[in-house]
Amino acid sequence: MELVTPGIGLMFWMLLSFSILLFILAKFAWKPILQMLEQREKSIEEALHGVIKAREESKKIQEQNEQMLQEAMQQRIELLKDARKLEENIINEAKKEAEAQATRILQAAKESIEKEKMAAIEEMKNRIAELSVTIAEKILKSKLESDQKQKELIEVTLRDLKLN
């Protein structure tokens, strides 16, 4: 039974060696070990804080990227709207310009036709007047060859003047 119950001498020497070992460890090794553990704990905490900070910054950057993407999409939509409006304005202005130019061309053509018409009418009047004078001269020459015919013409003309 000696194995189960240790002897007092053995316990004394074990207790003494353990106390010396504990004293040596407390005097020389305990503080540096605890300092290293504290430093290790601090570095782990700093690393964790760094990771948390990096995650937060990553989330912020991701949110900023999403916001910038939304802004870019909005600007793209606005640019497309502006481009469509500009295109419509250009087309409308071109249509108005074409209509104005067509109106000017039609007006110029009408004026030209009117001038040519008036010139043709004036020429016809002049030609008719010349022909009338020529015909009247021929008629008058043939009718007024005798004195009797001249007197009759004067009397008819005077009667016509008095009636009017």
In tens, the pLDDT along 18-47 reads 999 989 888 888 888 889 999 999 999 999
CA distance 103 to 101: 5
pLDDT of residue 85: 95
User: 10 Å Cβ neighbour count for 153?
Assistant: 13
The number of angstroms, rounded, from the C-alpha of 25 to the middle of its chain's C-alpha atoms is 80
In tens, the pLDDT along 137-164 reads 767 666 666 777 767 777 777 777 665 4
CA distance 124 to 131: 10
Letter string b/e over residues 45-62, b meaning 16 or more CB atoms within 10 A of that residue's CB: eeeeeeeeeeeeeeeeee
Q: Whole-prediction pTM value?
A: 0.41
